[in-house]
Structure formats: C-alpha cells, structure tokens
Structure 1
Amino acid sequence: MPLESMIPMEESKDEGCCSINFLKYVLYMFNFVFMLSGLAVFGVAVWSLAAEPHYILLLATASFGTAAYVLMAAGLLVVITSVVGCLGALRESLPASSQVTGYTFVLLLIFLMESMAGVLAYVYQVQLQMELAQHLNSTFTNKYGMQLAYTEAIDDMQQDFHCCGATYYTNWQYSRWLDSEANAERRKVPDSCCKTVVELCGRRDHPSNINPAGCVHQLDFVIQDHLVVVGAVGVGVSVVQIFGVIISCCLFVKLKNYGRGY
C-alpha cells in the first residue's frame, strides 16, 4: 500500500456538515435569534420594574427587584454580545480561537445570570405570601403619613386595588398616622380607601363608603404574576445559551484542528 494512502487528507474548511464555515453560519443565525431573545429579556425586566414601581418599595426584601435588575443586565449583555457575534461571523476571515473562547465565556456568564434570576424569582415566589402577611401590615401602620414615598405607594395601591389596610380596613385603627399631625382632619382611614375618592371622605369608614377588603391578597397576586414571567423568561432563555456554547465549542475545536487563530 502506498505511504500516501495511509496519511489522512486534511478536511477542507468548506466541506462537511460540521465544517468551520458551516459552524460560522450556524453561529451567525444563533446570534440573530440570541439578539431577539435578549431584547425580550430586557423588555420583560423593564416591564417588571416599571409596571409596579411603588409596590416594590412595600416588599420586605429586595429579591424581586434584584431578580428584575439581574435579568435586565443579562438582556443588555445578550444584545451586545449577539451584535458583536453577528459582526464577527460575517467576517470573511476565520475568528481567532481566543475570540471564540471569550465568546463562550460570555455565553456562560449570561447563562448563570439568567439562571440566577429565574431561580431567585421562583424562590421568592414561594416565600412571598408569608412575607407580605408579616410585613405589609407593619409598613401600613408605621410608615403611612410618616414617610412620603411609602405614603404615596400605599395611596396608589389602595386606589388601584380598591382596598383599605393591609388585611382589613380596621388595621388603620392601630396606625401611627391616625393620631399624628399628618391627620389633623381626624380621618378614620386615608381618603384613598374611599370608593369615590374626594377630600376628607376618609372621615367615614363605613363599608358603604370605603373598600373594606385588605390589600395583601391583591398585591400578592400581582407580584406572583410578575415573578412567574420573570422566572420563566430567565430560565427559558438561559437554555438558548446552551446551544450557543455547544456551537462555539465545536468551532473552537475545529480551529485548533486547522491550526487557526494562533
């Protein structure tokens, strides 16, 4: 047998379903989809923070805000990475293996960020109802009328949810605001409790005049709804990164085989 026949011929970079050029084009398509998913992630994070900005203030911990901010940062990083990846894939020359390694590292970082946001949202979803039950009434009774940001947040909540007090309208009987200078008109409940909000309507706390139900269940429902979306998007989109890591790893191996990027 001739010696030449025993030496394997070098596979062309343009041949085969796993050739370098094929992987480059697949990576380009992945980055385009990746960019769309990044925009979706960023949009969901902004929606979560902008839709209920006052209500986040009333939560006992920063878990909800942290999950949303991590998701926002991940979405922004996804968009930047995918744009750079698309431009790199469109280059005629082959990427250096060091560039592919850096790209893979960024994908893994984004994967961890989005996974963390999803897990954080899920964990907080489990403990939210207990936290609200323990914390919200204290916030209502101790901070309303004492701190402007909390006062505005509680007024907005009571008007939006048509509720009064944390668990029931009688919670206001134990409020610091009730006998404070901020309540010089001696309202029994804040005006925001009224079914029809007009000045000094809170002087009468009969259920025919105010919304007697507490706010805790409505707030729990709204935050839970947001957490489901944040968690699903965080975990769901993080799965997409796995395909990008696989593709970039294959490209890295091919580049090493062809001796490129050194």
Structure 2
Amino acid sequence: MTYHKPSEEARDAGCCSVNFLKYVLFFFNFVFFVGGVAVLGVGIWTIVDKHDYVVLLTTSTYSATAYILVFAGVVVLVVTVIGCCAVLKEDRCALLLYTFLLLLVFLLEAVGGVLAYVYEEQVMAELSHTLTDTFNSKYKMDKEVTSAINRMQKEYHCCGAITYSQWRDSIWLKKNPSIENLVPDSCCKSVTPNCGVRDHPSNIWYDGCIHQLEDEMGRHLILLGAVGCGLSLVQVFGMVLACCLYVKLRDINDY
C-alpha cells in the first residue's frame, strides 16, 4: 500500500489547521511546563517550610495535599516532553497518551486543590481540640514534637497552646518536680539557658501559639488550593487542543 502525503490544502482546510493547532499546542506545553514547575515548587516549599509543624496535626491531610501536588508537578515535566514529541511527529497514538496524561494531571491537581480547601475549613477545629493536649502530653516526651514546639514558640513569639499558664499542667513539669522552669526556655523573649524560671511578661511571651499556627496553616492551604484548582483548569484547554489535533490528523489520513 502506497502512502500519499496529504496535500497542504487538506492540512490547512477548516478554521483550525494542523499547523495552527501544533503551534498553539507548543505554546500550551510551554505554559503547562511553567505551571508544573510552579506546582512542584509550591509543594516542595510547603513540605520543607512546614515539615516540623506537621507532627502537631492529628491527620495527614496537610502533608498529603502537598505530596499530591509535588507528584503532579513531576508528572507535568514528563508529560510536556511527551506532548512536544507527539505534536512534532504528528503521532496520533502519542497524542492519545498525552491526552490521557493531561487528564491524570487534571485529576491530581483538582484533588489536591479540593483537599486543601476542605481541610482549610477543618484545621482550626482540629487544632482547637488537640493542640493543648499535644503541648501538655508530648513536650519532652517526643523528640519531633518538642523540636516543633520550641521552633514555633521562638518563631511566633508565643508560649503554650492557648496561654503560657497551661505549661503548669504539662507532664514535663509534673513528672520532673526538680525542674525550676515554669515554662520552656523557648518561651523567653531572649532565649538563654534556664531563662524560663520566670514567667513575668517582661521575660516571656504571653500569647498562645494556636491562633498564629491556624493563620499560617490556613494561608498555606489556601495557596495550595488556588494553585491546584487554578492550574487544573489549564489541562482542560490542553485536552481540547490535543483532541482537535488528533481528529484533524485522522481526517487528513482518511482523505
């Protein structure tokens, strides 16, 4: 069977020619690649920047959302290469694979975005019910939690979950009556060894950490949701373009 190359008239027939669709898809792939780098960057930044505080949460939704977006970002980088090769070679099978992978990325980013928005509404209630108990029962009992609490109190200029006086109920102090500290040293305005022996407002921070942690987590989750849901819409445009090019190439081959 002899293959006849489609005429230029057939390739350029209609309102959307093959060449036009190819150029638009190349441009889409560039935008798609930049979006993938953004998703990957936001996911990694969230994991690295707030890794210590994740141990203070009772659910894994926060970290799961970030990891989903990181995975989606990695997939995007692979998909853009497949897409460029499919468009350049006008390979219909590769275009189908490209469309399927765009759908996969769309689902990953949409799920990550929705999870972030849903959890943003729940994180305040979760922290209100669990943070005080975490401070009182795990400080000095769990190395990761202790490190997270100390970092938080220094970074947010706060002391205790709700108020500094809650440290009097902590297992850390109750099980060690010989300790002179009334609060951890990380509560102090100027952190020095054993500075927590005085809980005067001139020496320690009086505000609890819960509200600042809620605000910080909330902002991160809103950003994750906006990035996930916003960029997932870009994939819809790409899938439509890829399908249009596939149909155009099929029609030309039939012609």
Q: Same fold (TM over 0.5)?
A: yes
Which amino acid in the other structure matches residue 171 of structure 2?
Answer: R
Give the structure 1 partner of residue 86 of structure 2.
Answer: 88
Q: Which residue number corresponds to residue 105 of structure 2?
A: 110
Q: Secondary structure at the match of 1:213?
A: coil
The Cα RMSD (Å) is 1.7
Percent identity, please: 48
User: How many residue pairs end up in the alignment?
Assistant: 248
Partner in structure 2 of residue 140 of structure 1 = 135
| Structure 1 position 161 matched with structure 2 position 159 | no
1:258 to 228, 252, 255: 252
Letter in 1 for 2:130: H
Deviation at 1:138, TM superposition (A): 0.9
Q: Is the 8 A contact 2:117 2:222 kept in 1?
A: yes
CA shift, 1:16, in A, is 4.1
1:118 corresponds to which letter in structure 2?
A: G
Q: How far is the alpha carbon of 1:10 from its aligned partner?
A: 10
What displacement does 1:53 show? 1.6
Q: Which residue of 2 aligns with 1:61?
A: 59
- CA offsets 1:78-100 (integer angstroms, 9 cap, x no match): 11111221233234xx21x2211
In the alignment, is the contact (CA less than 8 A) between 1:32 and 1:86 conserved in 2? no
**Contact 2:62-2:116 at 8 Å conserved across structures:** yes
Alignment of 1:217-232 (within 5 A): 217-232=211-226
Aligned to 1:25: 23
Structure 2: segments with no counterpart, 5+ residues? 1-6
Displacement after TM superposition at 1:255 (Å): 2.4
Where 2:10 maps in the other structure, the secondary structure is: coil
Q: Select the residue among 198, 203, 206 that pairs with 2:197.
A: 203
2:184 equivalent among 170, 180, 190: 190
CA shift for structure 1 position 256: 2.3
- Counterpart among 207, 228, 236 of residue 234 in structure 1: 228
Secondary structure (helix, strand or coil) at the match of 1:185 reads coil
In the superposition, the TM-score normalised over structure 1's length comes to: 0.90
Moved over 3 A (4+): 14-17
- Deviations 1:142-189 (Å, cap 9, x if unpaired)? 1000011111110000000010100000111111001335x7533111
- Conservation of the 8 A alpha-carbon contact between 1:179 and 1:186: no
Secondary structure of the 1:12 match is helix
Which amino acid is 1:209 matched to? N
